[in-house]
Amino acid sequence: MALTCGLVGLPSCGKTTIYNAITAAGAGSYDGSEMNRAVISVPDSRIQPLVDMYSAPKIVPATLEVVDIPGLKEGSTAGDGRGNKLLAHIKDVDAVVHVVRCFEDPSVPFEYETIDPARDVETIDLELMVADSQTLQNKINRLTKIARAGDKEAAREIVDCQKVLSALNDGIPARKQGLNEHELASVYDCNLVSLKPVLYVANIKAVTDEENEHVWALAQVAASENAEMISVCGQDEAEISQLDPEDQEEFLRELGLEESSMERVIRAAYRMLGLVNFFTAGEKEVHVWTCRRGDKAPIAAGKIHSDMQHGFIRMEVIRYEDLIKLGSEAAVAKAGKQRIEGKDYEVQDGDIVVIRFSPPKK
Ligand SMILES: Nc1nc2c(ncn2[C@@H]2O[C@H](COP(=O)(O)OP(=O)(O)O)[C@@H](O)[C@H]2O)c(=O)[nH]1
Ligand SMILES: [Mg+2]
């Protein structure tokens, strides 16, 4: 159950190009109507030392799913069903990666005459908000009947939904409305697309463009909502992603990049979604698991198996750094650095865990 990042943006902003750069999928860029989907392994420099230490023959890395969602543009959510189908795909993602065209190239046709990141972001946001308005209105209509029958909870939810709806009508995406916990709970089942966290990607021609006016404009947009922006040389990096790993490193260095766009997107997605990696390690395999920062031990255990969550007894934890420093599990235990944690423990990035649980009775 990998988390999903959905690439959105105006036609010809470079979504498929960036998708290829991130996933090395080599998807065709010609016909914009296809939805592309790939699962990428999340690199983690701690895997190899663990594999060496346990002589594990198998590695299971954490994964992230990337979806290239085409077709969103001015007016696409109004009227016919096509826009709604698109939005269904956006509803499925955990995070939105909004690709914005920041390169000038008259030979690549675009929706508009000019390059204007703020306008492009607003255009896409408007489509998301139109869809969310419909979703909220439907919920309000449904709840109104229940509220009329005397349901107080429904009446309260209507108030929250109406507040969000009216801010949407004022042009404020749900993620920028500063919703409090109980307002969020009231709209939770609507799965609003304008509420999803956004990472902005400036698609640029060359690293030297990183400071061009368009990138700067997009950086302002991102800053205004405390979102992150990264710039990616879509075309170059899509080509590099097709090379052997060693060649990739060399070409990236030539471009002045330390990390590939895949690594940068993953890092940003991890920060945005508040994800941490924890491990199970043994002589059979080293397995990387992902949970949200703040998840308690039983929830994290549930990522491994639902029985481990429901029958959770305790979690035995050692820290990756301690294991590497001291050289073996036994040495870590001897140094008194193995911990026994209970139900309230919040799993930390770099924890190596063993779950003790009682299996369900047959
Ligand atoms: N010059 C230039 N062209 C690009 C760049 N990124 C993408 N393109 C081209 O722009 C066109 C549209 O890109 P595509 O990825 O298909 O856009 P999509 O419609 O958003 O999926 C393609 O012809 C790409 O080759 C770039 O950084 N520089
Ligand atoms: Mg495309």
CATH superfamily membership of 294-357: Beta-grasp domain (3.10.20.30)
Question: Of 304, 228, 221, 215, which is closest to residue 269 (Cα–Cα)?
Answer: 228
pLDDT computed for residue 362 by the predictor = 73
The best mutation among 17, 35, 98, 102 to test binding of ligand 1, ranked by most ligand atoms within 8 Å of the C-beta, falls on 17
Place of tokens 């929250």: 160
Stretch 163-183: mean pLDDT: 97
For position 80, what pLDDT does the model report?
A: 56
The string of pLDDT tens digits covering residues 105-149 is 888 889 899 999 999 999 999 999 999 999 999 999 999 999 999
Give residue 25's pLDDT: 79
Q: What is the mean pLDDT of the chain?
A: 92
**Ligand 1 pocket, Cβ-based, cut-off 6 angstroms:** 9, 11-17, 29, 32, 70, 103, 105, 108, 203, 205, 233-235
Domain boundaries, the chain: 3-271, 294-357
pTM: 0.91
Model confidence at 352: pLDDT above 80: yes
Distance of CA 203 from the midpoint of ligand 1 (Å): 9
How do strand 228-232 and strand 198-203 relate by DSSP bridges?
Answer: parallel
Q: pLDDT: is 206 or 3 the higher one? A: 3
pLDDT at residue 246, as a whole number: 87
Q: For residue range 259-281, what is the model confidence (pLDDT) as tens digits? A: 889 999 999 999 999 999 999 99
pLDDT at position 255 is 82
Mean of the pLDDT values across residues 352-360? 95
| Domain 3-271: homologous superfamily in CATH | P-loop containing nucleotide triphosphate hydrolases (3.40.50.300)
